[in-house]
Amino acid sequence: MNYEGLKIPNHVAIIMDGNGRWAKERGMTRSEGHKAGFSMLKKLTEYIFSRGIKVLSVYAFSTENFKRSKQEVNFLMNLFETKFKEYADIVKKKGIRVVFSGKKASPLPDKVIRIMQEIEEDTKENKVGILNLCVNYGGHLEIVEATKKICKLVQEGKLSLEEITEENFSHYLFQDLPPIDFMIRTSGEIRISNFMLYQLSYAEMYFSKVYFPSFDCQCFDDAILAYNKRNRRFGGIQDENENN
Ligand code: FPP
């Protein structure tokens, strides 16, 4: 779809849900569902950046996802190990920087952590846009970790309480990203699931019943059309002359 004349969100975030149910409906394994999810993610990512969106955040693996079966966790870790580079190379060519939000520590395998660090280093000069992959990520964890970083700086006398503001708090998060304008969650679940709690404060939200491996570029266009019908007021009122 041509996006000319449409409002384009600067930062889009996607909770990619429904890989397991997509697979079950087809008599396939959950792993096959994740593989299909990854294929769709590659297509969508290229499409999204080609349409002028500057920042894309995706929820690939939460801190809570480690509670899943060993087999499923291993499959996903293996997928990250073998596919992160292939995925990053696609966007790197378009001048996109790739960053990872989440704790780069155990229980993430060392190999996966190393690949994440290499990709961040390799793409750090790219300026066209940012792809933010949330891996071993939790929204509470991100805020707690930011608080610890700030406390340490205060303890060391490098930062004063007055210097901590709403404008600069995001410097201490896993990644310093602009606020999310539009969040999409697939598969019919209507919740945030500990995803980017700080950045979502004024995001418009869109919940689709479609499972992520079937959420294609046309589904994304539908979401953008819905976003264009939203009236964003950021806590203000639309018509200053409205009667009280
Ligand atoms: C949620 O669906 C999905 C995940 C926990 C994993 C998402 C990962 C991908 C789409 C692959 C990303 C890969 C790379 C290399 C970036 P679910 O398993 O909870 O589905 P269900 O709710 O139907 O069981």
Dist. CA 31 → ligand 1 center (Å) = 9
Testing ligand 1's pocket by substitution, the residue of 14, 16, 19 carrying the most ligand atoms inside 8 A of its CB is 19
Give me the number of domains the chain comprises. 1
Residue 234 pLDDT grade (very low, low, confident, very high; cuts 50, 70, 90): confident
Residue-wise pLDDT for 133-155, tens only, equals 999 999 999 999 999 999 999 99
Residues facing 112 on adjacent strands: none
Q: Which helix (H) or strand (E) holds 35?
A: helix 30-50
Asked if 176 is an active-site residue, the reply is no
Strands (E), the chain: 11-15, 55-62, 96-101, 129-137, 182-185, 204-207
> For residues 102 and 90, what is the distance between their CA atoms, to the nearest angstrom?
22
Tell me if 33 is assigned to some domain.
Answer: yes
Tell me if 102 is assigned to some domain.
Answer: yes
> For residues 56 and 61, what is the distance between their CA atoms, to the nearest angstrom?
15
pLDDT > 70? residue 41: yes
Task: Give the pLDDT score at 235.
Answer: 87
Tell me if 233 is assigned to some domain.
Answer: no
Residue 92: left if φ>0, alpha if ψ -120 to 50, beta else—which one? alpha
Tell me if 117 is assigned to some domain.
Answer: yes
Task: Give the pLDDT score at 182.
Answer: 98
> For residues 170 and 16, what is the distance between their CA atoms, to the nearest angstrom?
24
Three-state SS at 44: helix
Residues facing 184 on adjacent strands: 14, 206
Name every protein residue with a CB atom under 6 angstroms from any ligand 1 atom. Answer: 16-21, 34, 37-38, 41, 60, 65, 79-80, 83-84, 87, 133, 187, 212
Tell me if 242 is assigned to some domain.
Answer: no
Set 10, 19, 65, 89: catalytic member: 65
Residue 81 domain boundaries:
11-227
Tell me if 42 is assigned to some domain.
Answer: yes
Asked if 65 is an active-site residue, the reply is yes
Task: Give the pLDDT score at 23.
Answer: 98
CATH number at residue 35: 3.40.1180.10
Residue 151: count other Cβ atoms within 10 Å of its Cβ: 11
Task: Give the pLDDT score at 31.
Answer: 97
